[in-house]
Amino acid sequence: MIWGIYPIVDSGVKSGFSEEEFTRLILAARPPQIQLRIKHQTDREFFLRAQVVRKITKESGVNLIINDRIDVALALKAEGVHLGQDDLPLEAARALCPPEMIVGISVRSVAEAENAERGGAGYVAFGPVFPTASKTGAEVVPGGLAELKRVVDSVSVPVVAIGGIGADNLREVIAAGAAGASMISALAFARDVTETVKSFQLMFAKNRKEKKRG
């Protein structure tokens, strides 16, 4: 699976667009995949809203990764599901999902990343790397670039960085070895969402090539 820029459509971040509008703006830039994160909804409401996004991703040929909800991911035949440390254990989730479905998990340390790889994770998302407004409580304490690099060096699965990533620090995330960068606020509050995704994709590709040459 190709990573690079990994946009997140988050119902908790008020972008000024509906989920459908925001998804279409992101997908106009053709990222390899997006994640859908919906919190504090009934099962039915979650499914109906995810169904709308799924229709758009299928039309666009972009992979959809559903946050938290394995049942919804399976029902919609999404390409993946993303779990938190407090969700269903990774091994159990992997057993429920078909082999082709990618199962990722959030981690905050080398130990959690190594456990995730042993449990069958297809990728790990480390963060928050930088301060972020999209999380609350202990989750907001930044892990930093040094810990991101340690996580990258400790596992063979792709490591996606998340948390406070934007134009001013994306190069540092790539230099630390991240296979991808998840973004929420940097896109949600962009003046032109589609062009912002495109610019980040170009920046990621350029800096990854430079890192390989170096």
Alpha-helix runs per DSSP H in 164-192: 170-175, 185-188
Q: Cβ–Cβ contacts within 10 Å for residue 30, how many?
A: 13
Q: What is the pLDDT of residue 91?
A: 93
Q: Cβ–Cβ contacts within 10 Å for residue 115, how many?
A: 17
Residues 6+ apart with CB under 8 A from 65: 33, 34, 35, 36, 73, 78, 79, 80, 81, 82, 102, 104
For the segment 187-202, the average pLDDT, to the nearest whole number, is: 96
Determine the residue type at 208: R
pLDDT band per the 50, 70, 90 thresholds, residue 137: low
pLDDT band per the 50, 70, 90 thresholds, residue 139: low
- Tell me the residue ranges of DSSP E strands in 63-146: 63-67, 80-83, 102-107, 123-126
Quote the CA–CA distance of 49 and 15 in Å, as a whole number. Answer: 16
Position 140 pLDDT exceeds 80 = no
For the segment 146-175, the average pLDDT, to the nearest whole number, is: 97
What DSSP string runs through 39-79? -S--HHHHHHHHHHHHHHHHHHT-EEEEES-HHHHHHTT-S
For the segment 89-107, the average pLDDT, to the nearest whole number, is: 96
Domains of the chain, start order? 4-213 (3.20.20.70)
pTM: 0.93
Q: What is the pLDDT of residue 214?
A: 65
Longest dimension (CA), the chain: 50
Position 128 pLDDT exceeds 70 = yes
Q: Output the CA–CA distances (angstroms, integers) from residue 95 to 82, 99, 103, 155, in the order listed.
A: 15, 9, 10, 21
Quote the CA–CA distance of 108 and 13 in Å, as a whole number. Answer: 22
